[in-house]
Structures are given as structure tokens and as C-alpha cells.
């Protein structure tokens, strides 16, 4: 074999190694094409023709119906042929894949990979030799020069030559990397033809892994995931330190603690999902915490058993005459309506007058806190009916079902972001509002829509938190929660530059922040110091986000 005579393969030698594989699989491919000609291939063509017929406006309804009937009859015949040849097609595909498994790596890919490895070593040695030679020439040139300007020019020229040498090395390394990747991908090109792009799960995973290896960049990876890695390391450190400080009986990574973290994170998930849409529009929301306080107060008033311990503008409410389920639903509606009204107001001012969300939501924050505190005199409204938590968020064994509410919210918001026109418009407006407007997207409607969706999620979140805490509604509840929600989004990769972010990132961000807060509390770290940790994390997260933006630009 050619590969045994030399490690470095030329393009001709590589093609020579690949030729027997291509010929063997090619012969099987010809047989498959013959078997599929009147079966699978014909069926695919007919299905494409049926799809085209649906959109075709040339034919009359009667002509369309006749043509559709003809195509469906032909499709039925093609499917019958496909079914008849299915066993033979499967056997041929299995034979080709078995041959590839036995021969592709042994007779071709391993030799190419070894050649690429040797070429990489040579390219690095060549670069090292070039750098050494340039250094030698630079030192010789400097020895002859005495004028400061000439020395400065020589250093500048040397720096440029080093850069050119580095660029040449990177170019050669990339070409070698491309060659190895192309050799690996050739196997799946053959399988793609054999299977008509219907890869098995194992084949799909193998291709994704190879593509990840091929496109992997250490700097980009650290920019995207550096903060996650740092937080995970800190959390692992806290898990090690906690038993030492608090005693061997206090462990962080227990099932009970994990469930507690998920339980605490569930209401906060609603808040983070709400503000994520606003950050996606390059905005924010400073009123989240006050909306939680308002929602908690309203929900406690409605779900309280008996006359309330406090009054609203001097009036004491008593909803105990209503059925429990009716009170629960009324409390949810009140929370959603109140939060949505205020977010819509902020959204209107932001969209209509191009006001920065920082200002409109800060105004909301002040108005909400002032109204709730003035109307209730700042008192706490006690607890809600104790039967409600077991009705809405019961525990199944040790499992808190409040987590299922958060999962439902994540699924719904993911669907809105990724599968609806509004979601696509949200990304478009966040990325470039001017371009979105030119393309026919209503920036006003999208902006107000994002605020409305945020209000609905805030209402749900405050209602759920009220049930989790069995009431205790007051205007002061939720103070600082806006920072946690915003920080969770930023840590999760929702960019303040707009138009960048995923729901999965929000979920990860909420869990990371909740877990870190829980760990610090368990360790006995003062609450005020926890704000320091949060501030540092936010600062680093935004710094990394800005670095990614600068790199992209």
C-alpha cells in the first residue's frame, strides 16, 4: 500500500487509497439506485409534485383535483414498489456499511490522519525555524543601527514579519485540519447516498461530535463558557468546604438540597423568562421585585382565610365566602392583570417615545412601590388558606410539583421564541430594529408584546411564590429580585446587545444563581456579602458578553 511507503500523503496517493472503497460502495450504490428508481425515488418526486400542486394557482379546482388523484395513484404504485424492494435495499445498505466499518479507517482514514499529524508537526517546526531566522536577522539589523527612528522602524518591520509567519503557519494548519476533516466526512458522504440522508442516531451523534471538534476554538469556548466553569468550580469548592465548616452531617449535594434548590428556582424561572424577552430587545426591567411584592400582596388578600389583617385604602377584604379553587383562580387573574397593566404602560412609553427601558421600568418600580405601600400602609397580610399549597403545588413523596409549573413555563416560552412569528420578530427587532422595521416588522407591536408577555410571566411567578411561601404578602417582598432575574439571564447568555440568547441559557442561569445563593446561605455567609458575589458575577458576565460582541464586530 502507498501508506506503508511514506507517512506524508500527496493528494494523488490519498485518492489512490480511497479508490477501492469508492468503487466497492459505488457498485452497491448503482444497485440501490436501480431498486429505488421506480420506488423510493419516484415516491419522493411525486410527494414534491403534490406539495407544488397545493401552491400552484394555474390550475382550476377541478383540474387540481384530477391531477392530485393521478399523483396519489402513482404514489401508491411507487410505495408498493418501495415496499417490495425494502428487504433487498436494507441488505445492500447493511453490506456497504459493514464494508465501510471494516475498511474505511484501516485502509484509508488512519493513513490520512497519520499524514496530517506528521504535516502538522512539520508546519510547527517550519514556523519555529522561521521565527528563529527572523530573530537572528532582526538582531543583526539592530546591531548596525544607531538612529532611534531607524531602530523603531526595524522593530515594526520585525513585528510584521513575525505576524506574517504566524499567519502562514495558521493557514497551513487550517489546510491540514480541513484535509483530515474532509477525509473523515467522506465516509458519511457515502452513507448519506446509501441511506438518502436517513442517518441512524449513532451516525448523527458521530457527525455532530466530529463537526464540534473541527470547529472548536479555545478562545471562543472560554468566552462562551468561562463564567459557567468558574461558577461550577466555586460551587464544587463550597461543597468541599461546607462539611469542614459546618460539620460532616451538613452536605450540599444531597437529594433534599437539590429538590429545595429546584423548588426555590421555580417561581424565579417565570421572572427570568419574562425579563429575558426584554433583554433580547436590548432592554431591561427594574420593576420586577416590586411587581413580585404587589402580586404577593394581592394574592394573599384574595387567598387569605377570613377577613384580612390589613386594609387597602381603608377597606378590609374578605373572600372566604368564595370556594377555595375560585379564590385561587381569582388571585392568579388579579396578579396577571396588575403586572400586565404596568408592564404594558412601560412597554408603550418605551416603544412609542423611544424611551430607554431603564427609565420606563424605573418609573414603574417607584409607582408600584409607592401605591402598594400607601394603600396598605406597608403592613403584611399574613398567611393564605393552608389548604391551597397542597392543592396547587403538592409534594409527591419528596418531589415538589411546583417544578412542573416551571417546566411548563419553559416549554411554552421556548415555543413562542422559536416556533412563532412573534418569536422570530423578537430576535429580528433585538438584533437590528431599523432593519426589522424596513422588512415590514412592527417594532412597536413587538416591543409592547414583549412587555405584555413579561407581565403575564411576572403575574404567574408572584402568584406561585405566594403559594410556595403560604402568603406573607407585603410591598417590601421581592426587593432585589430584579437583579437575580437579570443576572440569571446574563449568566445564561442573553446578550444586552440584543437579538442573542436561548431559553436553555435562561434555565441554566436561574439554576446556577439559585444553587450558588443556597450554597452560600447553607455555609452561613452573610446576606449582604451575597450581594457582593452577585455583583461580581454580573460584572464578569457582562464583561464576557461585551468581549464576544467586540470579537464579533
pLDDT in tens, 428-486: 999 999 999 999 999 999 999 999 999 999 999 999 999 999 987 788 888 889 988 99
Which residues, in sequence order, are CB contacts of 49 under 8 Å at separation 6+?
A: 71
Contact 485, 272 (CB under 8 A): yes
Grid coordinates representing 524 are 452561613
Q: Angle 43-85-202 (CA atoms, 0-180°, nearest 5)?
A: 85
Contact 526, 276 (CB under 8 A): no
Grid coordinates representing 229 are 466553569
Quote the CA–CA distance of 166 and 158 in Å, as a whole number.
Answer: 12
Quote the CA–CA distance of 232 and 359 in Å, as a whole number.
Answer: 35
DSSP, res 59: S
CA dihedral 102, 106, 108, 114 (to 10 degrees): 150
Grid coordinates representing 128 are 519555529
Quote the CA–CA distance of 529 and 231 in Å, as a whole number.
Answer: 16
**CA nearest 346: which of 422, 275, 417, 431?**
275
State the pLDDT at residue 4.
Answer: 42
Per residue in 128-164, pLDDT (tens digit) is: 999 999 999 999 999 988 889 999 999 999 999 999 9
State the pLDDT at residue 552.
Answer: 60
Per residue in 196-245, pLDDT (tens digit) is: 888 999 999 999 999 999 998 888 888 777 777 877 888 888 888 888 88
State the pLDDT at residue 553.
Answer: 54
Count of alpha carbons within 13 Å of 223, Cβ hemisphere only?
16
- The CA–CA distances, whole Å, from 4 to 103, 114, 366 equal 16, 11, 78
pLDDT band at 3 (very low <50, low <70, confident <90, very high): very low
Query: In 38-147, where does DSSP find H-type helix?
Result: 40-55, 61-104, 110-144
**Residue position matching grid coordinates 377555595:** 324
Which residues, in sequence order, are CB contacts of 519 under 8 Å at separation 6+?
A: 235, 238, 239, 242, 252
State the pLDDT at residue 414.
Answer: 97
Quote the CA–CA distance of 179 and 171 in Å, as a whole number.
Answer: 12
State the pLDDT at residue 2.
Answer: 39
Residue 14 has pLDDT above 80, yes or no: yes
Coil, helix or strand for 307?
Answer: coil
pLDDT band at 5 (very low <50, low <70, confident <90, very high): very low
Quote the CA–CA distance of 511 and 355 in Å, as a whole number.
Answer: 32
Q: Does the pTM of the predicted model rise above 0.85? A: no
Quote the CA–CA distance of 350 and 447 in Å, as a whole number.
Answer: 8
How far apart, in Å, do the first and last CA atoms of the chain sit?
Answer: 49
Contact 380, 473 (CB under 8 A): yes
**CA nearest 299: which of 103, 155, 461, 414?**
461
Amino acid at each position: 500500500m502507498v501508506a506503508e511507503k511514506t507517512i506524508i500523503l500527496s493528494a494523488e496517493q490519498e485518492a489512490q487509497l480511497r479508490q477501492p472503497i469508492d468503487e466497492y460502495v459505488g457498485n452497491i450504490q448503482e444497485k440501490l439506485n436501480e431498486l429505488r428508481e421506480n420506488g423510493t425515488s419516484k415516491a419522493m418526486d411525486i410527494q414534491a409534485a403534490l406539495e407544488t400542486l397545493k401552491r400552484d394557482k394555474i390550475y382550476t379546482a377541478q383540474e387540481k383535483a384530477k391531477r392530485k388523484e393521478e399523483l396519489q395513484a402513482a404514489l401508491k404504485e411507487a410505495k408498493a414498489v418501495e415496499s417490495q424492494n425494502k428487504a433487498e435495499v436494507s441488505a445492500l445498505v447493511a453490506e456497504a456499511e459493514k464494508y465501510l466499518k471494516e475498511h474505511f479507517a484501516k485502509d484509508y482514514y488512519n493513513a490520512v490522519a497519520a499524514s496530517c499529524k506528521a504535516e502538522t508537526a512539520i508546519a510547527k517546526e517550519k514556523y519555529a525555524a522561521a521565527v528563529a531566522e527572523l530573530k537572528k536577522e532582526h538582531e543583526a539589523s539592530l546591531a548596525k543601527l544607531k538612529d532611534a527612528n531607524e531602530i523603531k522602524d526595524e522593530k515594526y518591520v520585525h513585528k510584521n514579519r513575525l505576524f506574517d509567519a504566524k499567519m502562514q503557519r495558521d493557514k497551513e494548519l487550517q489546510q491540514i485540519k480541513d484535509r483530515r476533516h474532509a477525509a473523515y466526512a467522506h465516509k458519511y458522504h457515502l452513507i448519506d447516498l446509501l441511506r438518502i440522508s436517513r442517518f441512524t442516531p449513532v451516525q448523527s451523534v458521530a457527525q455532530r461530535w466530529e463537526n464540534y471538534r473541527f470547529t472548536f476554538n479555545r478562545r471562543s469556548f472560554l468566552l462562551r463558557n468561562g463564567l459557567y466553569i468558574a461558577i461550577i468550580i466555586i460551587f464544587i469548592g463550597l461543597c468541599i468546604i461546607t462539611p469542614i465548616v459546618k460539620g460532616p452531617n451538613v452536605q450540599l449535594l444531597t437529594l433534599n438540597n437539590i429538590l429545595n434548590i429546584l423548588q426555590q428556582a421555580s417561581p424565579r424561572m417565570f421572572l427570568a423568562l419574562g425579563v429575558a424577552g426584554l433583554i433580547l430587545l436590548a432592554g431591561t426591567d427594574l420593576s420586577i421585585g416590586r411587581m413580585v411584592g404587589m402580586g404577593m400582596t394581592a394574592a394573599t388578600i384574595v387567598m387569605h382565610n377570613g377577613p384580612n389583617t390589613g386594609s387597602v385604602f381603608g377597606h378590609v377584604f374578605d373572600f372566604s365566602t368564595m370556594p377555595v379553587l375560585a379564590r385561587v383562580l381569582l388571585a392568579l387573574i388579579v396578579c396577571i392583570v396588575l403586572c400586565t397593566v404596568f408592564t404594558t404602560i412601560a412597554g408603550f412609553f418605551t416603544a412609542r417615545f423611544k424611551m430607554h427601558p431603564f427609565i420606563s421600568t424605573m418609573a414603574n418600580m417607584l409607582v408600584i412601590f409607592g401605591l402598594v405601600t400607601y394603600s396598605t400602609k406597608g403592613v403584611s397580610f399574613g398567611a393564605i388558606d393552608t389548604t391551597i399549597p397542597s392543592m396547587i403545588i403538592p409534594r409527591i413523596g419528596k418531589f415538589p410539583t411546583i417544578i412542573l409549573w416551571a417546566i411548563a413555563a419553559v416549554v411554552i416560552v421556548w415555543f413562542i421564541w422559536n416556533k412563532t412569528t412573534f418569536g422570530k420578530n423578537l430576535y429580528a427587532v433585538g438584533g437590528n430594529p431599523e432593519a426589522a422595521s424596513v422588512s415590514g416588522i412592527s417594532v412597536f407591536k413587538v416591543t409592547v408584546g414583549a412587555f405584555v408577555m413579561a407581565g403575564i410571566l411576572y403575574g404567574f411567578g408572584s402568584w406561585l411564590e405566594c403559594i410556595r411561601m403560604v402568603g406573607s404578602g407585603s410591598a417590601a417582598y421581592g426587593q432585589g429580585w430584579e437583579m437575580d432575574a437579570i443576572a440569571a439571564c446574563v449568566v445564561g447568555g442573553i446578550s444586552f446587545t440584543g437579538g442573542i440568547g436561548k431559553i436553555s441559557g435562561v434555565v441554566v442561569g436561574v439554576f446556577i444563581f439559585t444553587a450558588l445563593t443556597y450554597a452560600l446561605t447553607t455555609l452561613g455567609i452573610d446576606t449582604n456579602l451575597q450581594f457582593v458575589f452577585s455583583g461580581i458575577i454580573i460584572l464578569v458576565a457582562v464583561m464576557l458578553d461585551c468581549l464576544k460582541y467586540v470579537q464579533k464586530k
